[in-house]
Amino acid sequence: MAERNGILICRLRFATKESLKEIHRALRPGGVFGMIWNIEDYNSPRDGRKTTTEWEQVLKDIVESSEDDLPRFRHGKWKDVFEDQLDSTPLQTLKDTFTQDLPKFSLPLGEDHVEWTVWLSDEAIWNRFGTLSAIAVMELEKKEQVKQKVLGSLKGMDAERNENGEVALHGKTYFFWTSRV
């Protein structure tokens, strides 16, 4: 297989030691591995950051109270597969040197983000929000309650509207990168 100058991943399914080993194999030395996610404020990382608006915080609270056990970008666990490359003891470093189990990617990860806003109708916001797996799998009655809470938050809070009555939905595109060592 020809070695690549770069690989771009847009999902977190790569976040296993086996996947990183394969990505490492496919990249030439010094090749770049990039990761990108488009994340609405209501689906943002669980690191204490606030949403842009109160109504988006209501949606974020719903998301966080409806968690399933699947790994998500917002959990940040995907970064662990990179940090797990580092040895914790001198003995482990010596062992890894002999077994060729050396770090495959440079650390720390490069990181940046771009903020964005999209204008959507109330119903379009619900349709988008309803695609989150934790919401999509809810029983019909529970899902209807959540829908009413979402639509209610758009009516009574700080929802910014344009001349068409559409609501400003905020998010960020997150970029991370590293290189093969």
- Token readout for 85 is 């490359």
What are the tokens at 180?
């093969």
Which pLDDT score is estimated for 92? 59
Interatomic CA distance for residues 30 and 74, integer angstroms: 28
Say how many domains are in the chain. 1
pLDDT tens digits for range 95-136: 665 656 667 888 889 999 999 999 999 999 999 999 998 899
DSSP H or E run through 173? strand 167-179
DSSP string, 30-83: EEEEEEEEEEEGGG--SSSPPPSSHHHHHHHHHHHHT--SS--GGG-GGGHHHH
Domain ranges, residue 109: 4-179
Each residue of 38-53: pLDDT tens digit?
999 999 887 777 899 9
